[in-house]
Amino acid sequence: MPKKIRGKYNFGYADVNIEGIDKKEFFAHSGIKDIDSIENPLQREKLSNISIEPSQDKRVFDTLEVNERNEINGAGAWDRSRDTEFKILNELANKLGDNTKAYGKIKLYTDLDCCPSCKSVIKQFQERYPNINIEVIYKTKGGGK
For 4-62, the pLDDT digits (tens) are 566 668 999 999 999 999 999 999 999 888 888 888 889 889 888 999 999 999 999 99
CA 126 to chain centre: 14
Which helix (H) or strand (E) segment is 127 a member of? helix 116-128
Task: Sort strands 65-66 and 104-112 into parallel, antiparallel or unpaired.
Answer: unpaired
pLDDT at 139: 86
- Asked if residue 101 lies in contact with residue 68, where contact means CB atoms within 8 angstroms, the answer is no
pLDDT score for 55: 94
At 68-113, the pLDDT tens digits run 999 999 999 999 999 999 999 999 999 999 999 999 999 999 999 9
Q: Which residue type occupies 43?
A: Q
